[in-house]
Structure formats: structure tokens, C-alpha cells
A and B are shown apart, each in its own frame.
Chain A
């Protein structure tokens, strides 16, 4: 089943200003893990926000779970995770996770059962009563993931969720995210600017190029599941990383057709 369907999406900021996205066509199927990758300014975050109905496209159609994106938002069909955890400081870990459940009208008993489950899922048992500022950045981001998954959304939108974390934490959370994805069976759209992260996590990588933002390549990632720390050492992993890198450079080269300044970069 198709979870997200983008048809002819364009986005222009300001009156006749910069074109952030141009003629985007993309279909995302159930249980896919799709990464959007591209240099800054290619509109990958904007595209994610359009899927979540946080930004309106200037043209085109967004269908999420067979309904318009706006209806999908109102039906709480997706969970979202930003680069910053965006936790509410005045709420404890448990209460932060409970926030979307409160808004969906879950009663107290059901909420507390669910919180227990989610805390276990992101391995934060024992920290339920801590406040966000008592946690490390990685732990905060895990709370944000638990909160996004709490009401069991069929679609998870993640905007560079591990971008602000150190490499070690990031690799560990990558593995945890894959585990969560496998167990929950949800569909994930993941924005990143790390090639290795995109290849490691995804079943499909969407390569984007800037000015105007468009999809320059779609790369299937055929690495076997489940992926482990060893996946990063397989020759096929490196091949795919190279493939994505070359697609990115090709996309930048095409940009505006300007030959001179980008020439050196393409030879890398």
C-alpha cells in the first residue's frame, strides 16, 4: 500500500522568489525506510514538512494514507521528530511521552501502560520522572522518538534527528532506530545529510539537488536485513555509499548548468 504519494510538488517562497522545490514526484510504500539526502538548500526538510502538512506546497498534491495531508495530520497519522528533541522542560520524561496521548484523549490507565512500554522500547527505564535537562542529548532524542511513536503512527517523519549528536551516539541510535522500525512495522521518512547514515538505515535513498530542489536519483539499498554494526564493513555498503556520493555530485553539477566553480568538486 502507498503511504505517501507526492504528485508534482513545487514550493516557492515569497512572491515569485526562490524556488525551493520543483516538480517532485515520489511514492513511498508501507514499511519502507526512505532517506532524503542532499546538500543544504535542496529543500529536503521542506519536502518533509509538506508531507506533514506543516508547510503548504505552492503546487501539487500530497496524499498520505489515501487522504489529503491535512486530513492525515488531523487524524494523527504521523509522528514527527526534529533535529532538536523539542521536549517540554516543565514535563518529566513520562509526561513528555504522554503529551500526544493526552491530546488524543487516552485515559490515565491506558496512558501509563503505554508510557511504560515506550520507555522500555527506547531503553530509558528508570528515567521516567527525570526532567529533560537532566538527560544527555542522546537520551533526549530517544524521548522524542518515544513520544513520536507513542500513539503508534503508521508514518514517522524524521528531520535530521541525530544531526546534533556525536558520532558514537549517532551510530548507536541508528541501530536502535532500525530495531524500533522492525518491531513497529511503521514507515519512516528520514532527512539527513550524512551519506553513510542514509545508506545504513534505508531501504531506498532519495538523492536531491539544489536550486531548484528536485529529485536527481533514486537508489535502492539492497543490503540484507537485519542490519548490524558489521553492515558498515561490507563491500556492498561502500559501493552504495560511493553510488550515493556520485549521484550527489552529479546532481550538484547539473545545478543551473554553471560550469566553472563546481568543476573541481565533481572530480573528487
Chain B
């Protein structure tokens, strides 16, 4: 018996060789994939330009700028005299705040809605079609309405953007919470009943913990969606200093200098990845259970 405990504690107290090896392998794969994507972009560009192919579109410096030109653009000084990358990072921070608030708001609403719907088949029948319908309405059509409504209530513009972001965030969380809460083992529910546990305690002690892998799977989707939501929300809300504003202005100069828009896209993508990684780290801490159960 004691040997089992010793073996486990030893393996966790020895991060050296195996851990370093795995980290190196991860880094290697990351670099390899990055190099492959870079090679594909540049190879495609070279081949199409060399052969003069125009299908599906003509390739030139405007449609597909060199990647090193895009990276170079990050370190050029703009009209204000500051580096593009520092402008973009400042904009990313503005967008990140809106997206983070939107994400938390959306996740909370999504979770509560999922739990409520899971407890009543009648509510599920009545509400779910509208929940789904809400996602088929284009966010671009909803965003201005939200901005006008909340603006008339004197709500800060950035909060309107957070609400739009929440609109994209809540849906996956609702659907997966609904699924996860009902995923609890039927026998485990009976076990709880044998302890005379009521609905509420069965929910907190069993159903919610059992649904965490499902909820985190949804949060991963929502994390990136919240960034997209925030960027789109910035467009009609006349917020100029976020990534949405940058995209809008660089869009106008695209034919003159496409690298700036591409550079902005890279920063926006990095922001989405950062959000995703935060959720993954939270999952590692919160979900302690069999590895095969982690979605």
C-alpha cells in the first residue's frame, strides 16, 4: 500500500528529464508547423506569380505580401511617431478588456441559462428555439441595435461592446452546460437520492462537477469568439482605439500598404490565442479527474 503512495509522490516530485524532454518536443513541433505555414505561404506566392496564374485570385504584393514584410511593418513608425506594434498592443489591450468582460458576462449567463433549462423540459422546449435563433441573426445586424439601446441608457461605449461580445460567448456555454449537467451518471444521482440529497445539492455536488469538462470545452470556443465579438462590436460603437478601429482604418489604406492590415490580423489572432490559453490553464487547475474524461 505504502509503495503505491511513494511511487506517485516520486513521479510528481521529479519534473526534470521527462518534463524537459516533452517541453522540447512541444516547442519543436510548434516551430516546425510555423515554418511549414510560412513555407506554404511563400511557396504558393512564388508559384502563382512565377506561372502567372490568376485563379482563384491574382497573386501580388497587395493580395499576398511577404511575411517578412508584414513582420517588418510591425516595427515601422507611423504618422504619430510610435512603432506600429506598440500602437497595436495598446489597441489590443482596449479590445482585451471589452472581450474579457464580455466573456465573463456571457459565460455566467450561459451557465445559468444552461442549468435552468436542464431542470425543466418545458422551459427547454419553450426557450431553446429562441436561444438558437439568437445565434442565426448576424452579429453585424445586432451590434448597432445594442449600441443604440445601451447608448440611450448612458452606458459606456466599451460596455456595449462587451455585451455584444457576451452575445457570441453565451451560446456554446448554454448548450454544453445543458448537455453536461445531464451527463451525470444515473446511478450517481440515485446514490445522492439515497443520501436524501435534494435537487439543489445534487446540482452542486454532482451535476455541476460532472459537467465541468463539457463547460470547459465550450469556454474554449467562447474564448476566441469573445475576441471576435469585441472587434466586431467596436465597428458600430465608434470606439477608435481598439483593434476594430485599427482594422477599419488600415482597411482603407489596404491597396497602399497591405502589410499593416495583415500585421493587425496577427495581433488579433495572438489575442485570441492568449484568451484560449487562459481558459486551458484554468481548466488544468479546476478539472481534476481522469484524463480520458477531459474533453
Partner of B195, one of A84, A99, A126: A99
Interface of B is mostly: helix
Q: Is A73 an interface residue (CB 8 A)?
A: yes
Q: Is A229 an interface residue (CB 8 A)?
A: no
* Complex contacts, A76 vs chain B, CB 8 Å: 195-196
Contact A88 to B194, CB < 8 A, known contacts A103-B205, A126-B4: no
Q: Is A2 an interface residue (CB 8 A)?
A: no
Q: Is A86 an interface residue (CB 8 A)?
A: yes
Q: Is A100 an interface residue (CB 8 A)?
A: yes
Q: Is A29 an interface residue (CB 8 A)?
A: no
Tell me if A54 and B289 are in contact (CB < 8 A): no
Within 8 A of A (CB), among B278-295: 287-291, 293
B187 closest partner in A (C-beta)? A86
Taken together as a complex, chains A and B put the C-alpha atoms of A103 and B279 apart, in Å, by 31
Number of interface residues of A (CB under 8 A): 31
B292 closest partner in A (C-beta)? A133
Report the number of A-B residue pairs with Cβ-Cβ less than 8 Å. 68
Taken together as a complex, chains A and B put the C-alpha atoms of A76 and B197 apart, in Å, by 10
Taken together as a complex, chains A and B put the C-alpha atoms of A132 and B292 apart, in Å, by 13
Tell me if A131 and B201 are in contact (CB < 8 A): no
* Complex contacts, B185 vs chain A, CB 8 Å: 86
A49 closest partner in B (C-beta)? B190
Taken together as a complex, chains A and B put the C-alpha atoms of A104 and B289 apart, in Å, by 25
Partner of A131, one of B190, B194, B195, B288: B288
Contact A88 to B209, CB < 8 A, known contacts A73-B196, A82-B187: yes
Within 8 A of A (CB), among B153-208: 185, 187-188, 190-197, 201, 205-206
Binding site for B on A (CB under 8 A): 52, 54, 73-76, 78-80, 82, 84, 86, 88-90, 99-100, 102-104, 123-127, 129-134
Binding site for A on B (CB under 8 A): 1-2, 4-5, 8, 185, 187-188, 190-197, 201, 205-206, 209, 212, 287-291, 293
Can you sample 12 A-B contacts with CB below 8 Å?
A73-B193, A74-B196, A76-B196, A80-B190, A82-B187, A88-B206, A90-B287, A102-B205, A126-B4, A127-B4, A131-B289, A131-B290
